[in-house]
Amino acid sequence: MTRRTYLIKRVLQAVFSLWIIATILFFLFRMGLPDPTAALITEGLNAEQRAAVRAQFGLEDPLWRQYLLFLTNAVQGEFGTSFSYRAPVSEIVWERLGNTMILMLAAIVLAYAIGVPLGAWLSWRRGSRTDTMGIFVGLMFRSAPMFWTGMIAILIFGVGLSIFPTSGMRTLPYDATGFWDKIFTLDFLWHAILPVLIVALYYLGSPMLIMRNTMLEVYGEDFIEMARAKGLQERDILYKHAARNALLPVVTQLAVTIGLAAGGQVVVEVVFSWPGLGREILNAVRTSDFPLAQASFLIMAAFVISLNLLVDILYTTLDPRVSFR
Amino acid sequence: MTLPPILRAAMGPLRLMVQDRLAVIGMCVLGVIIAMALFAPLLSPHDPRHINEIEDGSVLARNAAGWELRESLGPLALNDATHRDGQSIIVGRSGTVWTRAGTGDWARIDVATEADLNGVDLNASGRAIVVGAQGTILLGNDLDWQLIPAPEAVLRDAVWLDNDRALIVGANEEIWLLDATAGTFAEIDSPVGRGFPLNSVALDADGTALIVGERGLAIRYDLEAGTATLERIGSSRDLNHIHIAPDGAALVVGERGTLVRRDGADGAWVTDPAPDTRALRAGWIGDNGRAVAAGRNGIIMEWDGAAWQIVQTESERHLRALLVVGDDWLALGSDRFVTRLSPPSRDHWFGTDHLGRDLFSQNVHGSQIALLVGFLGATLVVLIGTNVGLIAGYYRGRTETILMRTVDVMYGIPFEPFALILVLLFQPSLTIVILAVSLLTWRTVARLIRSQVLSLRERPFVKAARVAGASDLRIMYLHIFPNVLPLVFLELAIIVGVSIIAEATLSFLGLGPPQSISWGGILHDARLSGAWRTAWWWNLPPGILIMTTVLSVFFISRSLEVVANPRLRARQ
Pairs across A and B, CB distance < 8 A: 142
For residues B515 and B427, give the distance between their C-alpha atoms in angstroms, rounded to a whole number: 13
Angle, vertex CA A81, rays to CA A76 and CA A83, nearest 5: 150
pLDDT above 90 (res A109): yes
Judged by CB atoms closer than 8 Å, whether chains meet at A281 and B555 is answered as no
CA distance linking residue B527 with residue B306, whole number of Å: 40
A267 and A150 Cβ atoms separated by less than 8 Å? yes
Q: What gap in Å lies between CA A16 and CA B330, rounded to an integer? A: 76
Question: With contacts defined as CB-CB under 8 Å, which chain B residues touch A219?
Answer: 571
Q: What residues are paired with B89 via a beta bridge?
A: B82, B99
Backbone angles phi, psi at A321, to 5 degrees: -70, -25
Minimum-distance CB partner of B532 among A136, A151, A286: A151
Task: Choose between A311 and A44: higher pLDDT.
Answer: A311
- Tell whether B528 is within 8 A of chain A (Cβ): no
**Cα A325 to chain center, whole Å?**
27
Which residues are CB-contacts of B7 (< 8 A; sequence separation ≥ 6)? none
Q: Which residues pair with B224 in a beta bridge?
A: none
Beta bridge partners of A162: none
Closest CA to B209 of B163, B168, B260: B168
Neighbours of B293 (CB within 10 A): 33
Beta strands across the sheet bearing B270-272? B239-244, B250-254, B258-262, B270-272
Q: How far apart are CA B436 and CA B457, in angstroms?
A: 33
In this complex, the residue of B421, B425, B550 whose CB is nearest that of residue A143 is B550
What's at B132, amino acid-wise?
A: G
Rounded CA-CA distance A91/A203 in Å is: 30
- Which amino acid would we find at residue A198? I
Q: Compute φ and ψ for B327, nearest 5 degrees.
A: -95, 0
pLDDT surpassing 90 at residue A107: yes
Phi and psi angles of residue B287, each rounded to the nearest 5 degrees, phi first: -75, -15
Candidates B420, B547, B549; nearest CB to A281: B420
Could you tell me how far CA A102 lies from the centroid of its own chain? Answer: 9
Contact B354, B529 (CB under 8 A): yes
CA of B546 to nearest chain A CA: how many angstroms apart?
A: 7
Per CB-CB distance under 8 Å, the chain B contacts of A213 are 568
Q: Best mutation site among A27, A122, A126, A139 for testing chain B: the one with the most B CBs within 10 Å?
A: A139
Confidence (pLDDT) at B572: 40
Higher pLDDT, A176 or B431: B431
Q: How many residues would you count in chain B?
A: 572
* DSSP one-letter code for B478: I
Q: In this structure, are residues A165 and A274 in contact, taking their beta carbons and an 8 Å threshold? A: no
CB contact under 8 A, B547 and A144: yes
pLDDT band for A115, please (50, 70, 90 cuts): very high
Chain A residues lying within 8 Å of B509, measured CB to CB: 266-267, 270, 282
A266/B420 Cβ within 8 A: yes
B485-509 mean pLDDT: 88
Residue A175 has phi, psi (to 5 degrees) of -120, 130
Q: Do A28 and B422 touch (CB under 8 A)?
A: yes
Quote the pLDDT of residue B571. Answer: 45
The pTM for the full model equals 0.80
Cβ A301–B414 below 8 Å, yes or no? yes
Q: Is the dihedral angle over the CA atoms B79, B85, B86, B87 positive or is it negative?
A: negative
How many Å lie between the alpha carbon of B421 and the closest alpha carbon of chain A?
A: 7
Is the pLDDT at A175 greater than 80? The verdict is no
Check if the beta carbon of residue B572 is closer than 8 Å to that of residue A213. Answer: no
Predicted local confidence at residue A206, as pLDDT: 87
Q: What is the pLDDT of residue A43?
A: 58
Predicted pLDDT of residue B569 = 55
Band the pLDDT of B348: cuts 50, 70, 90.
confident
Set of chain A residues whose Cβ sits within 8 Å of the Cβ of B551: 139-140, 143
In whole angstroms, what is the distance from residue B528 CA to residue B510 CA? 9
Q: Do B527 and A31 touch (CB under 8 A)?
A: no
Residue B30 confidence class, pLDDT cut points 50, 70, 90: very high
Chain A CB contacts of B527 under 8 Å are 151, 271
Which tens digit of pLDDT belongs to each residue from A211-225? 888 888 887 778 888
Strand partners, A88: A81
Q: Give the separation between CA B177 and CA B161, rounded to whole angstroms.
A: 9
Amino acid at site B152? E
Min Cα separation B275/chain A (Å): 32
Q: Do A33 and B539 count as a contact with CB atoms less than 8 A apart?
A: no
Which B-chain residues 460-519 have CB contacts (< 8 A) with chain A? 497, 501, 504-505, 508-509
Q: What is the pLDDT of residue B500?
A: 92
Choose among A143, A293, A308: nearest Cβ to B421: A293
| pLDDT tens string B355-369 | 888 889 899 999 999
pLDDT at A195: 92
pLDDT at A34: 67
- CA dist B254 to A299, B232, B236, B322, B430, Å? 61, 15, 10, 14, 48
Q: Are A262 and A271 in contact (CB under 8 A)?
A: no
Instruction: Name every chain B residue with its beta carbon within 8 A of the beta carbon of A21.
Output: 409, 412-413
Of B344, B366, B347, which is closest to residue B36 (Cα–Cα)?
A: B366
The pLDDT, as a whole number, for residue B9 is: 66
| pLDDT grade for A324, boundaries at 50, 70 and 90 | very low
Q: Residues of A with CB below 8 A from B409's CB?
A: 16-17, 20-21
Chain A hits for B497, CB-CB cut-off 8 Å, are 143
The percentage of residues in chain A with a pLDDT greater than 70, rounded to a whole number, is 88
CA distance B196 to B174: 9
Nearest to B226 by CA among B165, B157, B138, B137: B165
CB contact under 8 Å between B425 and A28, yes or no, is yes
**Is B527 in the A-facing interface, judged by CB distances under 8 Å?**
yes
Which residues of B, range 118-177, sit inside 8 Å of A by Cβ?
none
Q: How high is the ipTM of this complex? A: 0.86
User: Residue A19's closest chain B neighbor by CA?
Assistant: B409
Measuring CA to CA, which residue among B261, B248, B338 is closest to residue B302?
A: B261
Cα gap A2→B219, rounded to integer Å:
105
Picking from A32, A136, A277, the nearest residue to B425 by CB comes out as: A32
How close does chain B come to A305, measured CA to CA in Å? 5
Q: Is B328 exposed, middle or buried (0-12, 13-18, 19+ CB in 10 A)?
A: middle
pLDDT of residue B4: 67
Cα(B380)–Cα(B495) distance, integer angstroms:
10
Q: B531 to chain A: nearest residue by CA?
A: A155
Hey, which residues 8-47 in chain B have their CB within 8 Å of chain A?
Answer: 22
Q: How far is the C-alpha of B318 from the C-alpha of B294, rounded, in Å?
A: 9
- Lowest mean pLDDT of A20-24, A148-152, B147-151, B199-203, name the range: B147-151
pLDDT band at A325 (very low <50, low <70, confident <90, very high): very low
